[in-house]
Every structure is written in structure tokens, then in C-alpha cells.
Chain A
Amino acid sequence: DAKTTQPNSMESNEEEPVHLPCNHSTISGTDYIHWYRQLPSQGPEYVIHGLTSNVNNRMASLAIAEDRKSSTLILHRATLRDAAVYYCILRGAGGTSYGKLTFGQGTILTVHP
């Protein structure tokens, strides 16, 4: 599986935007970029995914570099409920990847009131 690299931790203030970076220099042409987050004492939850173009949903935006070797998860206005571990994950579009999500260490996001 292609590897992702994320900062161990980031901090933000409430109501401010947060940009969470992810490097994936060995990404293949068919790998999707997924983001999941895990709130304290909960299972991971899906945030957003994309392939080449930037994506927006009600939770966040995903900005993907033109060469696809990096991406940024954008939380437009952080709230205290966004404090979580954020995982950037590459997923192949079939073959032997099946349902496997390969989690790294993730980025621990702390949001200050």
C-alpha cells in the first residue's frame, strides 16, 4: 500500500479554519484519497474522499495537489467537536485492496475554546 505522512499533532482555535496536510508521494493513478477521523472513545468516521479534483461536503473540503502527491483537509470553522485524530488514507479501486483501510498514526487535532 502507498504510504501517507501526516504531522503528529496540530492545534487550532475555535471558529478558525484548520488545514490538515497529508503527503502521499508514492500514490498511484487509481488511488483515492480518503479522510477519516476518530473522536475520543468512538470508532473512526468517514469525512471525505477524492481522486483528482477538489471536493466539498458538509463536513469539510479536500484540496488535492495537481500532481496528487499531497492533499489538505480543510475544516472551515473548527468547533470543539472537531477535536479528534484525523487519518489520511489511500485506497485502491479494486484488486486486492478490498475493504482494507490502512491507517497511519494520524494527526491529533486539538481545538482551543
Chain B
Amino acid sequence: DAGVTQSPTHLIKTRGQHVTLRCSPISGHKSVSWYQQVLGQGPQFIFQYYEKEERGRGNFPDRFSARQFPNYSSELNVNALLLGDSALYLCASSSVLAGSPETQYFGPGTRLLVL
């Protein structure tokens, strides 16, 4: 079975632009979470979606938004890009919502560079 896939793998944008990152979860997984990892730091939680509804949100500005589609894939959108948005964006999927210590499976990430 394919793992979590993310596209694109790399992306270069300029300040003020917007970006859309995509994630396909493992087949059968209904929960998708997004993380931002700045160089040298651990990943920071941005969003979780379960059954197409937002179930958790981290401390990120409203420029960050996401959605989940009926096939459980997900998009992360970032508007008005800033230099500080340069990071590795990770998507993780799991089979259930929290309430059990379910394993989260991460994709390889999308590396975004904002110039």
C-alpha cells in the first residue's frame, strides 16, 4: 500500500504570493494533520481534519487554511506568503480521531522556499 503522498516536493514562491500544498492519506485513513517544520526545529502542528471537518488548529495566523475532500485528501493553503513561511510542510494521516493513541503516518513533506 502506498504511504502518505504529498505534492509538490519542492516549491519556490515570492513574498505576497499564495501557495497550495496537497496531501493524499493512506487508504482508509480519515484523519489528516498538517505540520510546519522550520529548519533546525521540530514540526509544529497547524491543523487536523477528520471526516472533512476541522478538529484542531495550532497557533498559526488566518493566512493558513486547509480543507479535506470527500476522498479524505487534503489541501493546505497559505496566503500572502512571508519569508518566515519558508519551511518543510508535513502531512500526517491516521485511521481515527484522537481518543486512542493512534499512530500518525507522515509523508515526505513539501519544502517551500519564499524569496
Q: Which of B12-20, B44-52, B60-68 contacts A (4 or more CB under 8 A)?
A: B44-52
In the complex, which of the residues B50, B56, B97, B106 contacts A43, with contact meaning CB atoms closer than 8 Å? Answer: B106
Q: Are the CB atoms of A98 and B106 closer together than 8 Å?
A: no
Q: Are the CB atoms of A100 and B42 closer together than 8 Å?
A: no
- A contacts with B, residue count (CB < 8 A): 28
**CA–CA, A55 and B4, complex, Å:** 26
A102 touches B (CB below 8 Å):
yes
41-78 of chain A: CB within 8 A of chain B: 41-46, 49, 51
A104 touches B (CB below 8 Å):
yes
Distance in Å: Cβ of A88 to nearest Cβ of chain B = 11
Distance in Å: Cβ of B17 to nearest Cβ of chain A = 25
Q: Which residue of A lies closest to B94 (CB)?
A: A99
Mask for B24-56, Cβ within 8 A of A = 1, else 0? 000000010101000001111100101000011
**CA–CA, A98 and B58, complex, Å:** 11
Distance in Å: Cβ of B60 to nearest Cβ of chain A = 12
Contacts of A97 in B (CB 8 A): 56, 98
